[in-house]
Structure 1
Amino acid sequence: MSIIITDTTLRDGSHSVRHQFSKENIASLVSGMDKAGVSIIEVGHGDGLAGSTCNYGFTKESDTDMVQVAAQTAQNARIAVLLLPGIGTVPDLQKAWDAGARVVRIATHVTEADISHEHIEAARKMGFFTIGFLMMAHRAQPEKVLEEARKMESYGAQVVYATDSAGALLPDGVRQRVALLKEKLSIPVGFHSHNNLGLAIGNSLAAIEAGATYIDGSLGGLGAGAGNTATEMLTTVLERANIPTGIDLFGIMDTATQVLQPIISSLGVTLPKTQDAMMLGYAGVYSSFMLHARRAAERFGVDYRKIIITAGERGAVGGQEDWLYRIAREIAESK
């Protein structure tokens, strides 16, 4: 089983920067994610197409410009948009298609799938890969989530998501909802998490265990509230679990740290630095190794991540920090 990760940095993450991503920011981030192998990249206002209003906050760029620059930049990834019926309209959807979007997520409250009928049908006729997005999934019992998901499936949705918009679900609640959708629907199931209870990664894993094959993330976890599942963390965890995603681990980490971080810093936003901890967990080595790995990397001019991973592969334990310098030298000599 492989997992398709949709990155929402440039849509859900837009909430965190007051929707102020520029065309240059979008091009840089799409380029990095595309090269790293992200399959679907969602762009736009945090509240979807036509969300740029006094009610929800104005974007720096228009919907059309954001989609257009993303579509022109991406070589392999498909560009996605979000549409909330009542905010976005079918004509807005047509404009997004004309600008280059090829995936749309039609989002409704978990008990209101019926209002998505017109938009899902229209999206399918235009040629979009069309996803139903049931928001605030914790507000409905699994059987009700299934009832609403079946409506979206009947309208033509090709995937249906259980969306934990409030970050309120616990892993058992995720499993119950996703497992029921997986059992009863004839289309794939997706899951979108928020980290408000610190469970974004755990809930995403629970969703995968229950049968979800579409999972959302955002670089650095950038998103509304406490943020989303961090794409680079999710990639790391799934790679450790031998679950393929098609994403290059170092590539997505570098996009998060070298591309996203400077952009959001310029917009007054900071994110926790998690990359070092992530690599220690991925490699399974003592946390105290990091300082020595970075010193060795600087001394020999190599990537500290390769040192940490090799130390883990060789089973290094506490007291063997000298191995890190030997490993660094070997990596340098093999260049």
Structure 2
Amino acid sequence: MEGVRGSGSVRIYDSTLRDGQHAVRHSLNAQQLRRYASAADTAGVPTVEIGHGNGLGASSLQAGRATLTDDEMLSAVREAMPKSEMAVFMLPGWGTANDLTMAIGHGADVVRLGMHCTEADIAERHLGFVRDAGVKAQAVLLMSHMASPQRLADECAKLAKFGANAVGILDSSGHYLPLDVMERIKTICEAVDVPVLFHGHNNLSMALANSLAAIQSGARIIDACARGFGAGAGNAQLEVLVPVLSRMGYETGIDLYSLLDAADLAESELMTAPPKIDSVSVVSGLAGVFSGFRHRVQDISKEYGVDSRDIFFELGRRQVVAGQEDLIVDVALELRGMLGKNSGRVAPTQ
């Protein structure tokens, strides 16, 4: 990448206590949430996101039942973060205005709305609601590899017009390479006059490289998680990202030693094991499938006797997105029916 040295500041958005929930089937309890939130606050992390992996209102049989309700999670964390902003995430359709009212009532400083990469229009009403409530509103496009750079820029421009204070993209499946990110972020930055953000997953071991590519292309809000805790193979690793940014000349305002302490706490108290890039993660990234499908695909693979890799590639071929978890069973049944005719192997698409 050109221009190794940078200048200015980058705002870190810590999604350990939201995206990390995917890795432990949304089972974090109040004490775990409080202890990590307090450690992040001590380190000076600007914004910490809390909630079910799929956001407000998502605790369900389809997306996974959380140990705590949204209300309980936010109640547990707010007083533990006197300095850091408390953020929540919501996918319109999972959550409603009532969920937003509840979160804002608990002191949420930032509301981030997510939607499929070509569906910015569905966020207009919710962004207006958040704006009228006097809370910072962010908007992100999910499964962003499914749309062209220009289409992403056009959708982000709509979101900014609707009132988003920051806009950007999620690499929901860990599919991107740095050049993919650079092209998209540059195009978005040219289309909007609000800060641009990026959220990377590590299925192909590119989360940190992609985050740096985003910054060098104009992004100024970057998501990361302690120890990379997150869906699939995890996210950009927070305690690595921050010192790397410092070496590159970017300021984050985060204390390194306290951040390392928070990461150690996250590994010992939040997760059964740090994320790793295993065979399933690689296939999910190549197929361009939402990382949060991992556990569901593995469970159904065992139940129906179908190779999980075949399921992922077929889900990718169909461009299945979050909220369509029921299709995983349909795919498994179809692949099982093919086993008597051939290997059932579905060729990966490039």
Q: TM-score, normalised by structure 2?
A: 0.75
* Matching of residue 27 in structure 1 with residue 38 in structure 2: no
* Map of 2:233 onto structure 1: 226
Q: Which of 36, 47, 59 lines up with 2:54 in the alignment?
A: 47
* Matching of residue 66 in structure 1 with residue 73 in structure 2: yes
Q: Which of 169, 175, 179 lines up with 1:172 in the alignment?
A: 179
CA distance in 2, matches of 1:112, 1:63: 25
Q: Which of 86, 89, 95 lines up with 1:79 in the alignment?
A: 86
Q: How does 1:256-335 map to 2 (within 5 A)?
A: 256-257=263-264, 259-265=265-271, 268-271=272-275
* Matching of residue 91 in structure 1 with residue 95 in structure 2: no
The answer on whether the counterparts of 1:68 and 1:100 sit within 8 Å (CA) in structure 2 is no
Corresponding letter in the other structure for 1:263: E
Q: How does 1:189-208 map to 2 (within 5 A)?
A: 189-208=196-215
CA distance in 1, matches of 2:154, 2:274: 40
User: Shift of the alpha carbon at 1:69?
Assistant: 2.0
* Map of 2:136 onto structure 1: 129
The answer on whether the counterparts of 1:17 and 1:269 sit within 8 Å (CA) in structure 2 is no
Q: Secondary structure at the match of 1:169?
A: coil
Deviations 1:274-302 (A, max 9, x none): xxxxxxxxxxxxxxxxxxxxxxxxxxxxx
Corresponding letter in the other structure for 1:261: E
Corresponding letter in the other structure for 2:56: L
CA distance in 1, matches of 2:192, 2:274: 40
Structure index of larger Rg: 1
CA distance in 2, matches of 1:30, 1:22: 12
Pair 270,202 (structure 1): closer, same or farther in 2 beyond 3 Å: closer
CA distance in 2, matches of 1:184, 1:149: 8
The answer on whether the counterparts of 1:193 and 1:228 sit within 8 Å (CA) in structure 2 is yes
User: Shift of the alpha carbon at 1:102?
Assistant: 1.3
User: Shift of the alpha carbon at 1:271?
Assistant: 4.6
* Matching of residue 57 in structure 1 with residue 61 in structure 2: no
* Matching of residue 12 in structure 1 with residue 19 in structure 2: yes
Q: Secondary structure at the match of 1:75?
A: coil
User: Shift of the alpha carbon at 1:59?
Assistant: 1.1
Corresponding letter in the other structure for 1:207: A
| Cα-Cα RMSD | 1.1
Pair 110,11 (structure 1): closer, same or farther in 2 beyond 3 Å: same
Q: TM-score, normalised by structure 1?
A: 0.79
Deviations 1:137-160 (A, max 9, x none): 111111100111111111100100
User: Shift of the alpha carbon at 1:135?
Assistant: 0.7
User: Shift of the alpha carbon at 1:91?
Assistant: 0.8
**What is the aligned length?**
269
Corresponding letter in the other structure for 1:34: D
CA distance in 2, matches of 1:88, 1:133: 15
Range with greater deviation from structure 2 (55-64 or 206-215): 55-64
The answer on whether the counterparts of 1:102 and 1:127 sit within 8 Å (CA) in structure 2 is no
CA distance in 1, matches of 2:44, 2:249: 17
CA distance in 2, matches of 1:161, 1:231: 19
* Matching of residue 161 in structure 1 with residue 168 in structure 2: yes
The answer on whether the counterparts of 1:16 and 1:269 sit within 8 Å (CA) in structure 2 is no
CA distance in 2, matches of 1:156, 1:270: 37
Deviations 1:15-66 (A, max 9, x none): 0011111111111000100010100000000000011111111111110121
* Map of 1:150 onto structure 2: 157
The answer on whether the counterparts of 1:191 and 1:204 sit within 8 Å (CA) in structure 2 is yes
CA distance in 2, matches of 1:84, 1:2: 29
**Which 5+ residue runs of structure 2 have no aligned equivalent?**
1-7, 277-350
* Map of 2:44 onto structure 1: 37
* Map of 1:303 onto structure 2: none
The answer on whether the counterparts of 1:137 and 1:163 sit within 8 Å (CA) in structure 2 is yes
CA distance in 2, matches of 1:255, 1:153: 33
Percent identity between matched residues is 40
The answer on whether the counterparts of 2:227 and 2:274 sit within 8 Å (CA) in structure 1 is no
